[in-house]
Each structure stands twice: as C-alpha cells, then as structure tokens.
Amino acid sequence: MPKTIRELADELGVSKQAIWQKIKRDASIDLRQFTSTKGNTVYVDVDGQKAIKAMFSNDSSTRYRQQKDDVDDNKKDAVDGQDEVKFLRNLVSEFQSEKKELHKLLDQQQRLALQDKQLLEEYKAEIKDLKALTMAPHDNSEKEVTSDKQPEPENSTPESQPKPKKWWRFGK
C-alpha cells in the first residue's frame, strides 16, 4: 500500500526534509521508479518504502537521534504530566474557592431574605395598628354627630325648609 512521504517520516521519526535529503545523497535509489504523484502529494510504493527504511536503519546518527528523541519525548511527557497535574490542582483550588464564595453569597442572600420577611411582617403589623387607630376615631365621630342631630319631624312642609339662594341674581 503506497504511503506519503509525511507518513514515512512519521513512521521513521524523522522530518520530510530528512527523507528528501537522504534520497538525494544516495544515488542508488531512483525515486521515479518507486513513486507516483497525485497533485502535489508524492506516494511511495512498498519497494520504495523498504529502500528508504533501509537507508535510515543503516544510519547510526538517525538511530541515536531517534533514541534521543524518544528520551526527550519521555522527559517532555513527564514534564507535561507534571505541568498538567499542577494545572489541574490549580483548577481544583479555584473551583473550591469559587464554591466557598458561592456559599457565602447564598448565606448572605438567605439572611437578607429573612430580614425582608421580618420587615414585611413588621410593616403589616404597623399598617394594621394604623388602620385600627384611624378607624376607631372615625367611627366615634360619626356616632357623636348622629347623636347631636335631632330627629326631624316627619310632617315637615316645604315652606319650613330654607329656600336655596340663587347665585345668578347679583343685582338684587
């Protein structure tokens, strides 16, 4: 199955440029007989892959570089792992502090709601007291006014009642 130069480079642990340089330096490989192109992509057939792999397996500097890269990758993975652990610990501590802050805010909200409820009850009681105070004198004054009035005789004639004055007669 044909592979691209990029796939071969990833498989061998080298760059695409390293493969191209190796092919150019080694005159024994005629790249044209092992490759095909589709657009800008170069595909290497199975025989070409074997030849390129053989070139890199004979190169001791490549093996050393691969081993060094493997060690560097392991160190990098360890450092990345430590960094990730630190990051996650910081994230957890941030979440815990946010949680504490939210608990404080919730407690504060509940206390304020309780105060509001108490104030509302006090205001209701005050309003009730004020209504009772205002209603009591008003009721007493009506009783006094009605008791001060004398009952009118039922046989009253229209002549005994005062005549209303007309306001349009200014000259009289």
Report pLDDT digits (tens) over 36-88.
777 777 788 888 878 888 877 766 554 455 556 666 666 667 777 788 888 88
Transcribe 99-116 into DSSP letters: HHHHHHHHHHHHHHHHHH
CA distance linking residue 111 with residue 160, whole number of Å: 72
Report pLDDT digits (tens) over 114-143.
999 999 999 999 999 998 888 765 445 555
Angle at Cα 97 formed by Cα 93 and Cα 100, nearest 5°?
Answer: 140
The model carries a pTM of: 0.32
Burial string for 113-148 (b: 16+ CB within 10 Å, else e) reads eeeeeeeeeeeeeeeeeeeeeeeeeeeeeeeeeeee
Q: Which amino acid is at 131?
A: K
